[in-house]
Chains A and B, each alone.
Chain A
């Protein structure tokens, strides 16, 4: 689903990613580990081009999205992302947060289809809907999603009135409203109070069970061991080790990884 070829990223003279090669298949749950400053967050952010790679290619459904000519927005709609600091829209309610992008995309599709219809070109008749229908269906999906994280009664609340855990759960389902093919998690629990970490991990766990393709940068070793189908260890911009959780945690080979695990698990 995602194939990364020889990805390099520099900030000025600072080489953060140094030739990453990676393939993520459908249904895989990839956890990326690494010490701070190792480039794991940068790698994740490169996957949907939030950071533009310095060189290399990123293929998403066999389209090179690192190419500047590609309309990245279209592809990002199918790559959900969850941030460390939630990044919910502060001027919108929970429901508006969740419907904004789906409505925007549907409206755009509708306009396009109408144009094609006008010029007697082939178009998808399902795309032509009234604004009311678009909004209604977006809200329906949003409520379904809110139900699944038990936050339906918060639909009209503003993000600032929610707890960190609630905000992050909303952020996850907000991304799900776009029906993405893959979800990227950038340290989703690092900014949370310890007691709220569980509720967010539960949502991620259930998502994993449904077969969602996930790429997770996290420090939650328990989550990595239990849920991951594959673990990457990154240090100084290169993938040092790539294997199943059992391989990584029980028989680490790279000395740097051994050192890292010792520090974290004690």
Chain B
């Protein structure tokens, strides 16, 4: 293993003496930023789409909205996220003449993409809430949207927290493709470290370790969150 010791030495030398850690910090920050911001945008979009898709379809307007939403979902679920990134960064934004950084494009695309997935998760969550809850609200004279926001969605969210956590974990790992549009993420940082020090083994191992630690932290956070929400269920 003498060889491996040397590799570790090279890695630490590159990281700390040649200040390679700067890029890793930046990459880690971007990875977390893209995943968290993407998830938040995704939850917002997903909840909205899910709410639209469960509106009873008697009238024309809900039908049109529903059509738009299902096209959106099939578009974003039907193409790989790399393709979406490339299309947004190299086609859409240049076409409309907007200058945007690759990190911001990544946040946007990950938000839009996870919105499509979360909408289905959320729709499942809403459908899992007893229909009587909606009836109870409507019978008291609350509007559909008020009942949705105050009664149904809070209960749906509690039901889907584990699945949502899954989505977040998938998201944080998927961010490793943002280097396709030149954003510095964890993968890019360690890949650069490997390229510059002519030694890939240790940087890639370190990268895997950081991903695993992040996912473990998220798993723990979800567990705690879930426990807290369930507690509110049964208190007193």
Identify the A interface with B (CB < 8 A).
Answer: 48, 50, 52, 73-81, 83, 85-92, 100-101, 104-105, 156-158, 160-161, 174-175, 178
Contacts and interface: CB of A to CB of B under 8 A. Distances in A.
B135 A158 contact: no
Contacts of B142: 73, 100-101, 104
Given A76-B141, A104-B146, A156-B236, A50 B135 contact: yes
Give 8 nearest A-B pairs by CB, closest first.
A87-B136, A77-B141, A101-B140, A87-B132, A81-B139, A76-B141, A73-B141, A91-B154
20 contacts: A79-B139, A83-B132, A83-B139, A85-B132, A87-B132, A87-B133, A87-B139, A89-B136, A90-B130, A100-B140, A100-B150, A101-B142, A104-B150, A156-B236, A158-B233, A158-B235, A158-B236, A161-B236, A175-B140, A178-B141
Contacts of B136: 83, 87-89
B63 interface: no
B137 A89 contact: yes
Interface in B121-170: 130, 132-133, 135-143, 146, 150-151, 154-155, 158
Given A91-B158, A101-B142, A83 B135 contact: yes
A55 to B, nearest CB: 15
A75 B138 CA distance: 11
Contacts of B155: 90-91
A142 B150 CA distance: 19
B234 interface: yes
Q: Chain B CB within 10 Å — which of A52, A90, A100 has the most? A: A90
Contacts of B235: 158
Contacts of A76: 138-141
A105 B140 CA distance: 10
Q: Chain A CB within 10 Å — which of B141, B142, B146, B234 has the most? A: B141
Contact of B143 (A48, A52, A73, A81): A73
B140 A178 contact: yes
Contacts of A73: 138, 141-143
Nearest to A156: B236
Contacts of B143: 73
Contacts of B236: 156-158, 161
Interface residues of B, number: 23
A89 B158 CA distance: 14
A186 to B, nearest CB: 10
A87 B151 CA distance: 11
B142 to A, nearest CB: 6
A74 B138 CA distance: 11
A197 B150 CA distance: 31
Contact of B234 (A80, A88, A161): A161
A85 B150 CA distance: 20
Contact of B139 (A48, A85, A157): A48
Nearest to B137: A89
A63 to B, nearest CB: 14
Nearest to A174: B140
B133 A89 contact: yes
Contact of B151 (A48, A80, A91): A91
A161 B233 CA distance: 9
B16 to A, nearest CB: 51
A175 B136 CA distance: 10
Contacts of A87: 130, 132-133, 135-136, 139
Nearest to B135: A87
B233 to A, nearest CB: 7
Given A91-B158, A175-B139, 14 more contacts: A76-B138, A76-B140, A81-B139, A81-B140, A83-B132, A89-B137, A90-B133, A101-B142, A105-B141, A156-B236, A158-B233, A158-B235, A161-B236, A175-B140
A132 B205 CA distance: 58
B147 to A, nearest CB: 9
A101 B150 CA distance: 10
A79 B139 CA distance: 8
Contacts of A86: 132
A105 B142 CA distance: 8
Contacts of B138: 50, 73, 76
Interface string B79-93: 000000000000000
A160 B234 contact: yes
Contact of A160 (B141, B150, B233): B233
